[in-house]
């Protein structure tokens, strides 16, 4: 796993759950970039939060593959909700360019999919990626 050391050093546990074997037509390198951006953001947001958990799930929803990255605790700030997927949007992080989620959105949309999020303070944030499945 690309982030194994960063996750271990931050004390973050990752759980992966797939409800079914799904096959979507994707550019693997670009989709890895999407997941990497989401995971990097979660690691930064959860820094110093011992016993934090990131849950990755995959399931079929009608004719879509739905991938979820849920982060437990420290919901995203409402200050940036309206511009979260726009370039150069960042809040409360010491580093970064604010391009990660904008890049992720572009890649997901180039695959004919969509990326959304929901966040609740003290509960956490879930990013949802929906990609079309082949007929």
| List of residues 6+ apart from 101 with CB closer than 8 A | 37, 38, 41, 84, 85, 89
Q: What is the CATH number of the domain that holds 63?
A: 3.30.565.10
Q: Which of 16-30, 69-83, 88-102 has the lowest mean pLDDT?
A: 69-83
Whether residue 107 contacts residue 131, with contact meaning beta carbons closer than 8 Å, is answered with no
Between CA 33 and CA 40 the distance in angstroms is 10
User: For residue 1, is pLDDT > 60?
Assistant: no
- CA 84 to each of CA 42, 77, 102: distance values in angstroms, whole numbers, following the listed order: 14, 10, 8
Number of domains in the chain: 1
For residue 117, give the nearest of 26, 63, 37, 12 by alpha carbon.
37
Enclosing domain of residue 42 = 4-132
What band does 4 get if pLDDT is binned at 50, 70 and 90? confident
User: For residue 121, is pLDDT > 80?
Assistant: no
The two beta strands, 13-18 and 53-61, are parallel
Between CA 83 and CA 131 the distance in angstroms is 22
């Amino acid at each position: 796993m690309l982030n194994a050391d960063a996750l271990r050093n931050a004390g973050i546990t990752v759980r992966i759950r797939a409800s079914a074997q799904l096959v979507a037509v994707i550019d693997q390198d670009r989709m890895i970039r999407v997941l990497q951006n989401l995971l990097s953001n979660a690691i930064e947001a959860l820094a110093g939060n011992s016993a934090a958990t990131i849950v990755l799930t995959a399931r079929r929803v009608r004719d879509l593959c739905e991938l979820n990255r849920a982060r437990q605790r420290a919901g995203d700030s409402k200050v940036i909700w309206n511009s979260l997927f726009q370039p150069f949007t960042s809040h409360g992080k010491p580093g970064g360019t604010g391009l990660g989620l904008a890049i992720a959105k572009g890649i997901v949309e180039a695959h004919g999919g969509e990326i959304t999020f929901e966040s609740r303070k003290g509960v956490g944030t879930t990013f949802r990626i929906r990609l079309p499945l082949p007929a």
